[in-house]
């Protein structure tokens, strides 16, 4: 670490600008409002999520919630597209 770095004025080659794909700190801190529900799931489904959650060191409820959120996000966009086509 004691060696000095000698900078030169050499060309660095072709530069490629990478778009910013990281979420903002505000997006990372954002937490959606939760709603408690009672839902009967099959034993098979719960066992699957519990097993996967254990493998990935997380909570099975969180995995189910993220799965549902992902489903809604995907289908919400397509539902909006279908509605806008119908209203034209």
Chain-centroid distance, C-alpha 36:
22
Task: Dump pLDDT digits (tens) for 49-82.
Answer: 999 999 999 999 999 999 998 899 888 877 666 6
What is the number of domains present in the chain? 1
Is the residue at 67 inside a domain? yes
Is the residue at 58 inside a domain? yes
Is the residue at 18 inside a domain? no
Is the residue at 31 inside a domain? no
Is the residue at 68 inside a domain? yes
**What pLDDT sits at residue 39?**
95
Q: Count CB atoms within 10 A of the CB of residue 49.
A: 19
| pTM of the predicted structure, to 2 decimals | 0.57
26: left (phi over 0), alpha (psi -120 to 50) or beta: alpha
Is the residue at 29 inside a domain? no
CA-CA distance, 46 to 35, in Å (whole number)? Answer: 20
Is the residue at 28 inside a domain? no
Instruction: Report the pLDDT averaged over residues 46-50.
Output: 96
Is the residue at 14 inside a domain? no
* Contact call for residues 44 and 51 (beta carbons, < 8 A): no
Q: Is 4 helix (H, G, I), strand (E, B) or coil?
A: coil
Q: Which domain holds residue 52?
A: 40-87
């Amino acid at each position: 670490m004691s060696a000095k770095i000698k900078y030169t004025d050499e060309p660095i080659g072709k530069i490629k600008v990478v778009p910013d794909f990281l979420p903002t700190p505000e997006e990372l801190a954002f937490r959606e409002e939760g709603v408690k529900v009672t839902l009967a799931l099959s034993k098979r489904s719960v066992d699957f999520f519990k097993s996967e959650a254990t493998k990935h060191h997380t909570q099975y409820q969180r995995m189910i919630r993220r799965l549902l959120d992902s489903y809604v996000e995907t289908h919400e966009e397509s539902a909006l597209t279908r509605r806008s086509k119908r209203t034209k």
